[in-house]
Structure 1
Amino acid sequence: MSIDWTAIAAIATAAAAIATAWMACMTKRSLQQAEKHHQNSFRPICILENYRNPDNPHCDSDNPYSRNNYLTVGTYDWRSEDLLISAQLRLKNVGSGPALRVWMILLFPLNNPDSGYIIEMTPLSANGWYGDRQTPIQFRLSKQNYTDRKFGFRLPDSEIDVRPIDAVWEIVLEYEDVFGNKFHTVHTRDALHPWTKVGIGRLNLPVSVRIELDRQNQLGPLPRINSEMQRQCWKSASTGTLHD
């Protein structure tokens, strides 16, 4: 009985090819996992937290952790009829990497589900933050916009009056890591939902908001926070004393 060495060689070659392909697949998977682990080690996680101290005797609320008091509305100044929404919240990056292209979007999903207000924040280092009593995070809107869009909250009674916003609101944070991966965080006034929800990728926002975000992203990073906070952030960056 003769041995068909040609057939054996063909089988061996096929087995070697399969083994090589399997090793290549395993190597590729290992490299992908290593790259994913490397990117995860630089992942930012941006959140909003209440900066008000319940032990502070000047605290203006019996329950400083009530979400009802997290956003307040007042007039911009005596020369303008514009409204100023102030967040009693601190924006903080609790992740392990810097957050780039940080956007904050204020939505009123029940009263005005088709639009929102957008501000672009400066990049945040790991453990970096901004927003406090002296330099709060603020949204400016005109009374004309309020009249047209009917957000559903009561206006202040006078120029010096400030009142909590009593409509249901959501604040969405969108940001990127140094690799261009996109993330989002959602905070809501509705106590029936968790205060913080973190996700990967872009959130399904109203069309008008998404169009504006895409347009602004094409323009590059242009900070649109209030001037006092801009000065503080730039001063901190120039002196090397960023908030940690």
Structure 2
Amino acid sequence: MSFWADFWNALTGIGTLALAGATFCVIRQGQRQRRDGECQHRDRFKPICLLAPYGGVDAWNRRGDLLEAMPPAPENPSCGTVAIRCVLRNVGVGPALKLRLKFRLLDMNGWTSEPWELSPLGAGETCGSDAAPLLVPFPIHERFNQTDFAMLTGKPWEIWLEYEDVFGQQFQSIHRKAPFDTDPAKFAWTTAEPSQQPKAIMPSIPWLTYTKGPMP
């Protein structure tokens, strides 16, 4: 009798373990499905903001023309104005909240201007036009004086847009002046004839880079 009792106890134990394993798998699958559903729900409200040059065409080697530095007025010498000759668009499917714009200057160790708060931008909405360009105040102080400001358009700049969706998720849209990457480590080289030197091909840099997550 003890043999059959032990046998049935063993079968019961195996069945219990199998049931526990199956229950665990069902729970994990349900959690995964809920996470996937939450992600899909959030994606239905994801904003994508960008600066589109007039006409929607990237001018490549003329990206520097997209900025105009307007000197400070005599009555307010501590603040210049930068005109951005682009349309600010939200091409996403949800509103962009806590929208801010700032400039980053690569020749000044990545110095970044103070962020300028913009109004929320709903899905499909735009701001700025050829007749009324986007104007951004630019504070002038000891770390960025009037000489620096006068040279702004010639500097290697980046324009950062930072914003959030309705769930508080953070996004960045980075616009770069440089059309090509000048880092020799990233060059590609053409196959040359024996009598010729190989030529370097610099990789192109897209006008817009879109990322999700907090600012690095």
Q: Shorter-chain TM-score: what band? A: 0.7 to 0.9
1:69 paired residue number: 65
CA distance in 2, matches of 1:149, 1:36: 47
1:110 alignment partner, SS class: helix
Give the aligned residue type for 1:102.
L
> Which of 150, 155, 161 is matched with 1:173 structurally?
161
> Which of 122, 125, 128 is matched with 1:128 structurally?
125
Across the aligned residues of Structure 1 and Structure 2, the Cα RMSD in angstroms comes to 2.6
Q: Which structure 2 residues correspond to residues 178-189 of structure 1 after superposition, within 5 A?
A: 178-189=166-177
Q: CA deviation at 1:121?
A: 0.9
Distance 1:86 1:146, change over 3 A: farther
Q: Between Structure 1 and Structure 2, whose CA radius of gyration is higher?
A: 2
CA distance in 1, matches of 2:146, 2:8: 83
> Which of 17, 36, 39 is matched with 2:39 structurally?
36
Q: CA deviation at 1:194?
A: 1.0
Distance 1:149 1:28, change over 3 A: farther
2:115 alignment partner, SS class: strand
Distance 1:16 1:149, change over 3 A: farther
2:202 paired residue number: none
1:202 alignment partner, SS class: coil
1:19 is the counterpart of 2:22: yes
Distance 1:77 1:134, change over 3 A: farther
Q: Do the aligned partners of 2:102 and 2:112 also contact (CA within 8 Å) in 1?
A: no
CA distance in 2, matches of 1:12, 1:107: 63
1:46 is the counterpart of 2:42: no
2:25 alignment partner, SS class: helix
CA distance in 1, matches of 2:162, 2:215: 8
Task: Provide structure 2 residue ranges, at least 5 long, that are not aligned to the other structure.
Answer: 181-204
Distance 1:111 1:169, change over 3 A: same
Q: TM-score, normalised by structure 2?
A: 0.76
Q: Do the aligned partners of 1:108 and 1:151 also contact (CA within 8 Å) in 2?
A: no
Q: CA deviation at 1:136?
A: 2.4
Q: CA deviation at 1:147?
A: 5.5
Give the aligned residue type for 2:120.
P
Q: TM-score, normalised by structure 1?
A: 0.68
Task: Provide structure 1 residue ranges, at least 5 long, that are not aligned to the other structure.
Answer: 55-62, 156-164, 205-244
1:77 alignment partner, SS class: coil
The percentage of counterpart residues that share the same residue type is: 28
Q: CA deviation at 1:129?
A: 1.1
CA distance in 2, matches of 1:86, 1:146: 21
> Which of 12, 15, 20 is matched with 1:9 structurally?
12
1:199 is the counterpart of 2:211: yes
Distance 1:83 1:110, change over 3 A: same
Q: CA deviation at 1:65?
A: 8.0
Distance 1:148 1:127, change over 3 A: same
- Number of aligned positions between the proteins: 187
2:178 paired residue number: 190
